[in-house]
Amino acid sequence: MIVKALRVVVGQLVVFISFLTRPSPMRREPAAQAEVNDAASALALYQFNGCPFCVKVRRTLRRLNLPVELRDASGNAEHRQTLLAQGGKVKVPCLRIEEAGQTRWLYESSAINEYLEQRFA
């Protein structure tokens, strides 16, 4: 119980520090941003709010100015079940990618950030 409480406190501290030091969003021409917004609509990030690895991915989303849907896999049973049933495991962060009628589940913050950088930077 003490470990869980400590994890919650540390998680909230990480979120607060991330908020204070968050990067500025990338600026694009309106037409280019509209294309990015359309491409980002095929993405969804399954995450926990206080997870430091999820914070790392959310910072990249902000820096690249990507409006990706955030799905809370800890507080929302439906999102958690979808992550388990379709992604194969309850592990966050996990990026759900819809491309060419296929769904791909990408785990690991470094792999997700690399994918986002290659596709949107």
Instruction: Quick: pLDDT tens for 62-86.
Output: 999 999 999 999 889 999 999 999 9
Evaluate whether 87 touches 45 at the Cβ level (below 8 Å).
Answer: no
Residue 102: strand, helix, or coil: strand
**Residue 16's pLDDT band (cuts 50, 70, 90):** confident
Q: Which residues contact 53 (CB under 8 A, 6 or more apart)?
A: 92, 93, 109
Evaluate whether 50 touches 6 at the Cβ level (below 8 Å).
Answer: no
Q: Is the pTM of this model over 0.95?
A: no
Answer whether residue 44 shows pLDDT above 90: yes
CA 52/CA 30 separation, integer angstroms? 32
Domain coordinates in residue numbering, the chain: 42-121
Q: Looking at the domain that runs over 42-121, which CATH code has it been given?
A: 3.40.30.10
- Read off the tokens for 51: 């997870």
Provide the residue type at 117 as one letter. Answer: E
> How high is the pLDDT of residue 8?
78
**Residue 22's pLDDT band (cuts 50, 70, 90):** confident
